Amino acid sequence: MHTKEGRSSMTRSSLFLYTLVIVCVVLCAALIVSRKASSQHYSPTSVATSGPYTLQVQMASAEAKVLKPNTFTVSVREANNTPVRGASVSIAISMPDMFCGVSTAQAEEVEPGIYRGEGIPLMAGRSSAEVSVALNGHKYTIEHPFLSVR
């Protein structure tokens, strides 16, 4: 026959065990999610054809420092590889998985067809730079995914 005290301690033990299991599951899930974000392959360079132009976005690394200026170098070339001068190039940094605002920057032409700007990611995690090139009344874009780190 079970005593009331025996059942009470067994219930507390079971409750503690269930709580411990739930905490372990939550911690393991958080670890898996954080590893997935950091292990996803990011390249420091993205290239795309947009209209008659080839756009290339390059960073020093596939990772950018949060709340620090990070250099984005944008190359704009015609199909025959001729550098395109006189474009207006803007950079909009956001996080696709969450709403945390958008950080914008303007890139300046530093040599024919090469534009450079400093973008500042707002939070750590999976980020994206949407680079827009305005030229001759048209707008061309390229997405550059990267990881923002502390």
Considering the entire predicted model, what is its pTM? 0.73
- Strands 138-149, 63-65: pairing is parallel
Q: Are 128 and 122 in contact (CB under 8 A)?
A: no
- The phi and psi torsions of 30 (rounded to 5 degrees) equal -65, -40
Domain residue limits, the chain: 1-39, 45-149
- Within the chain, how many helices (H) and strands (E) appear? 1, 9
Q: CB within 8 A of 11, min separation 6: which ones?
A: none
pLDDT in the model for residue 28:
45
pLDDT digits (tens, 9 = 90+) for 57-110: 999 999 999 999 999 999 999 999 999 999 999 999 999 988 888 999 999 999
The CATH number of the structural domain formed by 45-149 is: 2.60.40.1930
